[in-house]
Structure 1
């Protein structure tokens, strides 16, 4: 596991809709919880799977995002991460006859791939409007409306499965990874990227401090994320072998906190956790803005927002794959190796 190079992108002032809006007293998040289904156990019925995220609200957020006429201006993060996932596909010197992109959105991965690598592609997303706005690709692509939590494919179907910035909204991530492993052919590979770790810690901390000061307590406004230390274990439990996990920090600079929140909405990445607070008062936002700039602000007056991207690669086991030696089969001990590595004193007199 290694830390990647930090990417710095500057979102121009006035580029976001909220940057030029008039006076306001509060900001409402995209969907009203009164119209959402009740929280509880996952609809899958798998024993004890907690329903952390309102999947119907996430669908509505993505539908709204896809309906924006200028929605392309919010694709910068998905484009960047999609390109990095495609780079990992190219690192594997192999032709993939049939591939699956889970939560593929507007083909942010496929647009970086060629027919020399993938012959046919199935692109899925929970949002119909997002699928309709998929970009053209030279790879023959079949669009499938499907929830990432319930893949409608037979076992041993795909040679490659990819996913970019979608799995962090899954309620049952272990179950979703097991499904991915099942739809892969033996010796097939899964390459994915998801938001995790300390993503948006600047926004999270600023809002918590502001709410505590102005309202006497705070509510979560940023989604809970998977820790990188847990990801390898989850992949192993799902049945993957030859695991690789690494991390990249993507830092985006914004004019202010309103632009951060507006872009998250435009991406379809607003919080949809059941325990979120749907309203932010004007005084709280003004206080959060001041705290954000004081604690994290850049010299030019902009503020950074950090996205920690977790990349994962896992293979479906096959007899042709290299296997670790059996425990106890070594014929040299670490003690012997340490003796060999010690320098030998030479008398030069």
Structure 2
């Protein structure tokens, strides 16, 4: 049955209530709200402030590793940019790796003001400008066709309207501008997800979302193409980290600001359910030395805004050699 006007008005009031709880209102006409952005902002702020920022610095290892792998892809481009916009920059894991030979300056943009300012300018090799803003409303902060390059290191998996953000990034880029990004793929933390689901089913007779839904490689390629990008390069990689037990993994995710922020999540898990999940995790995935692995699947992508100066494929039939002869 299709909803009537009273139900539609009620749904709109509910969304307005969620939006009013955040310093960043929800984007207009968002297609589907999966994540509570107010909660995510609070999680990132708390992580950046804990122990004067030392707690979050201790767990920078995942973002730092992926930022280094992103930098390798940027260096393959062999172009110097006058400025690079780092969307969802956090404390600058990627920006800290940039050198004057790559860019003249970097603009860091993040929804968490405390993450933006966690580390001082002395940690960066190039001049830094910080913008406290929600990446979901990018074009309200940066102008159209104002950027030569946009990067995003592990923030897009918390965006409600990913297609909309990609369109905004394309609009913000100059012709032949580059988008370089990395986001967590659908197999990220599959060990934790299965352990929690099995434990909750066995102890409580049902399951609720504890690990956020993520995209896969085909989705990213399709979304970039639909957003109007060209010359796409998408590849996938994994980072696997060992932990003494599930408890240390959960502590590190909290200190990373990567705790669950799905709307409709359970705020409390019974202790016996968590204990059962830890035992299941160990039984299914434990190593001989007693440690457990946690897999972070990462999707890397490079895309370009169309430009008349970009190379284009030759028309069909203009080749000078027959492919069968070469083979």
TM-score (norm 2): 0.88
CA distance in 1, matches of 2:81, 2:297: 29
- Other-structure match for 1:195: 184
Normalized per residue, the structure richer in helix is 2
1:88 equivalenced with 2:68 (yes/no): no
- Superposed CA RMSD in Å reads 1.9
CA positional deviation for 1:49:
0.8
Number of residue pairs matched by the alignment: 300
Measured against aligned partners, the alpha-carbon deviations of 1:51-95 in whole angstroms (never above 9, x if no partner) come to: 110001000000000001222111111111111112211111111
In structure 2, relative to structure 1, the CA distance for the partners of 1:271 and 1:341 (3 Å cut) is same
Secondary structure of residue in 1 paired with 2:119: coil
Q: Equivalent of 2:34, from 40, 52, 71?
A: 52
TM-score (norm 1): 0.82
Measured against aligned partners, the alpha-carbon deviations of 1:3-35 in whole angstroms (never above 9, x if no partner) come to: xxxxxxxxxxxxxxxxxxxxxxxxxxxxxxxxx
Please show how residues 125-204 of structure 1 align to structure 2 within 5 Å.
Answer: 125-135=110-120, 136-151=123-138, 152-204=141-193
Answer 1 or 2: higher relative contact order, Cα 8 Å, separation at least 6.
1
CA distance in 1, matches of 2:91, 2:183: 16
Q: Equivalent of 2:26, from 37, 43, 57?
A: 43
The 8 Å contact of residues 86 and 110 in structure 1, kept in 2 or not, is answered as no
Measured against aligned partners, the alpha-carbon deviations of 1:202-238 in whole angstroms (never above 9, x if no partner) come to: 0000000001111111111000001111101100111
Q: Equivalent of 2:264, from 257, 275, 298?
A: 275
CA distance in 1, matches of 2:228, 2:166: 9
The 8 Å contact of residues 105 and 134 in structure 1, kept in 2 or not, is answered as no
Secondary structure of residue in 1 paired with 2:35: coil
CA positional deviation for 1:312:
0.7
CA distance in 1, matches of 2:82, 2:232: 22
CA distance in 1, matches of 2:257, 2:81: 30
- Other-structure match for 1:218: 207
**Structure 1 residues without counterparts, runs of 5 or longer:** 1-35, 343-349
CA distance in 2, matches of 1:275, 1:304: 28
CA distance in 2, matches of 1:130, 1:78: 13
- Higher alpha-carbon deviation: 132-141 or 314-323: 132-141
Secondary structure of residue in 1 paired with 2:179: strand
CA positional deviation for 1:141:
0.9
CA distance in 1, matches of 2:28, 2:208: 29
Please show how residues 5-84 of structure 1 align to structure 2 within 5 Å.
Answer: 37-38=17-18, 43-46=26-29, 49-69=31-51, 70-71=54-55, 72-84=57-69
Q: Equivalent of 1:262, from 251, 259, 282?
A: 251
Secondary structure of residue in 1 paired with 2:144: coil
Larger Rg: 1
- Other-structure match for 1:239: 228
CA distance in 1, matches of 2:294, 2:38: 27
